[in-house]
Amino acid sequence: MVSFISFILVLGILVFVHEFGHYITAKIVGIRVEEFALGFGPKLFGKKYGETMYSLRIIPFGGFCQMTGENPPDDKMSEEERLSYEEARKEGRTFPQKSPLQRFAVILNGAMMNFLLAILIFALIFAIYGIAVESVDSNIIGDVALGTPAAEAGLKIGDKIIAIEGQAIEKWGDISGIISNAEGQPLEVKFIRNNQEYTTTVVPRYEPAYGYAMIGIAPETIREKTGFFQSLRLGFLQTVNLLWFTITAIVKMITGKLTVDVGGPIMIATMVNQATGLGWASLLNLTAVLSLNLGFFNLLPFPALDGGRLIFIIYEMIRGKPVDQEKESLVHVIGLVILMILMVFVFIRDIARFL
């Protein structure tokens, strides 16, 4: 139950921050916002303040900021919607009536808010936990990477490994020496947690980037405290480095140099579950990584995504006049259908991954 609540909270925060970026920018440039919603599907709760409806919907995977005039008016509009549209149009407050630069800012700032959130969370982690300056050669786990064999086997930060396959472990070198040459071999690991001895089985996985097998653990480290401005600088650098890593990983996937491995809601929920068990540092770190990924993937130049909408605005800036709104809407609808089909495949892949 705790893990489920953590998953909903993490997802809710990421979606809220993203949509708030669209919302606040729209308000600043004078666009009328019809509804600010978390989730999709039927409303669980809705309250209108001023001209905007704020709602919570039953399906928690997403949200939206509905601005007047985003979609061309048609016969399916209710009388209330039509009156609202006409009123906003007369006041020059519909989305299409704003300049290309203003609309560009409205669309872009959803992702930018996600990037900002990632920077602030990483900065918070550095401010609380400091920066690692030296590894300790002990048999105590200092960190566990999410989605790795160690996390899947239930190992946690602070566990003291005392034996692997019957071999006594006294220092970190003993652990890495056994694991690095045991790709695909189930290893019995004995460890102490809260003064009690436990046993688990872990299967090392070969990591091409390192050239040997790993299970996803790191030794304890000596950490130094960081000041406010240093934490912000480190948070920014961490975000930039992860963004560059994401870009290079996608390029490698496209060129076939890296296996395509995409996860959906089930995989994310599993990682949140693992992070919750590992502690606040892991949960905060995962939230920052997910926020960065949400911002980045929304900027990909694909119809229905923010990046696809930005392409149309850039084309309008170059051409000097906008694309027909009905034609653009049709392109985005087609893109949305393709995305939904891809999500179904990702969901099926997620289920198969955990069977």
CA distance 272 to 291: 13
CB 162 within 8 A of CB 192: yes
CA distance 129 to 148: 23
DSSP secondary structure letters along 24-79: HHHHHHTPPEEEEEEEEEEEEEEEEETTEEEEEEEEEEEEEEEETTSS---TTS-H
CA distance 264 to 179: 30
Q: Which residues does 138 contact at the CB level (< 8 Å), separation at least 6?
A: 171, 172, 219, 220
| Dihedral-angle region of residue 328 (phi above 0 means left; psi in -120 to 50 means alpha; beta otherwise) | alpha
- 19 catalytic? Reply is yes
CB 129 within 8 A of CB 104: no
CB 35 within 8 A of CB 43: no
Q: Which residues are catalytic?
A: 19
